[in-house]
Amino acid sequence: MYAPVSPQLVIDSLTLHFGGVTALTGVHLEVNAGEITAVIGPNGAGKTSLLNCISGLYRPNAGRLFFEEQEITNTVPHRRAELGIGRTFQNIELFKHLTVLENLMLGRHIHMKTGLLSGGLFWGPARREEELHRRRVEEIIDFLEIESIRHKAVGTLAYGLQKRVELGRALALEPRLLLLDEPMAGMNLEEKEDMARFILDVAEEWGTTLILIEHDMGVVMDISDRVAVLDFGRKIAEGTPEEVQQNPLVIRAYLGKQ
């Protein structure tokens, strides 16, 4: 377990351009281990860009990133997964021809060792490893209550279930930092409540640090420990949900000038 002597994730004056468009300008954010941090902001504020920088899909033009005191600014995405950063996507990015089980087993990829040859021969160690990690994956399936669909191809599942499977795949990686990009988008109230419950359980039972992007302010204010507000690529506010709600800059960004 990571001992929280300093923030688990440090985002230091991150700047990101796409050609002439600036997506992020000098964003600074520190995330403590075990906390739930929500990133909010109007559409196009740069929230997903920030998550993409943390998981390595975008390389920032300036600024630095530290995860558990190790610089990861130029680390490739698959290395960051090995370091313990997992994520889900806004538009579900599951392996849609594979079953729920296979998707979750792919989440175990970095914890498994079976190579090409032993996998193809499927003897001794390869078979034992499959069974061992299958057990772990089944625990996650139980946790998310998706037992009945484990052998279904995810492409055939309903939207809400796909979102849940994607969370399961990220959890199978056993990340110490989990990035959730709009985990409740497009869900009805009941599905949102379920998802909020899962997120809180993950933070409490597994001690996972969470960064989530969410538009539902009710959910954000209820479940997060800290809230960061982005507007036009700049961080305009940060603090506890109560502090952020009172912040005049946030009110202006969301409601316009009073």
Residues that bind other proteins (CB under 8 A): 55-57, 76-78, 80-82, 86-87, 89, 93-98, 102, 105-107, 109-110, 112-116, 118-122, 126-127, 129-131, 134-135, 138, 169, 173
Alpha helices in the chain (DSSP H): 47-55, 77-83, 100-107, 116-121, 124-144, 159-172, 189-206, 217-223, 241-246, 248-255
Helix pair 124-144, 100-107: axis angle to 10 deg: 110
- Shortest spacing between CB 75 and other proteins, in angstroms: 12
- Shortest spacing between CB 88 and other proteins, in angstroms: 9
- Closer by beta carbon to other proteins, 104 or else 195: 104
- Closer by beta carbon to other proteins, 23 or else 220: 23
- Closer by beta carbon to other proteins, 32 or else 118: 118
Task: Name the phi and psi angles at 23, rounded to 5.
Answer: -90, -35
The dihedral sign for the CA sequence 54, 60, 63, 69:
positive
- Angle ∠(156,56,64) on CA atoms, nearest 5: 155
For residue 232, give the DSSP letter: T
For residue 43, give the DSSP letter: T
Residue 100 CA: distances (Å) to CA of 126, 142, 147, 168, 174: 21, 13, 10, 9, 17
- Shortest spacing between CB 193 and other proteins, in angstroms: 27
- Closer by beta carbon to other proteins, 82 or else 191: 82
- Shortest spacing between CB 178 and other proteins, in angstroms: 11
- Shortest spacing between CB 78 and other proteins, in angstroms: 5
- Shortest spacing between CB 82 and other proteins, in angstroms: 5
- Cα separation, 183 vs 167, whole angstroms: 8
- Cα separation, 90 vs 181, whole angstroms: 5
- Closer by beta carbon to other proteins, 138 or else 194: 138
- Closer by beta carbon to other proteins, 25 or else 48: 48
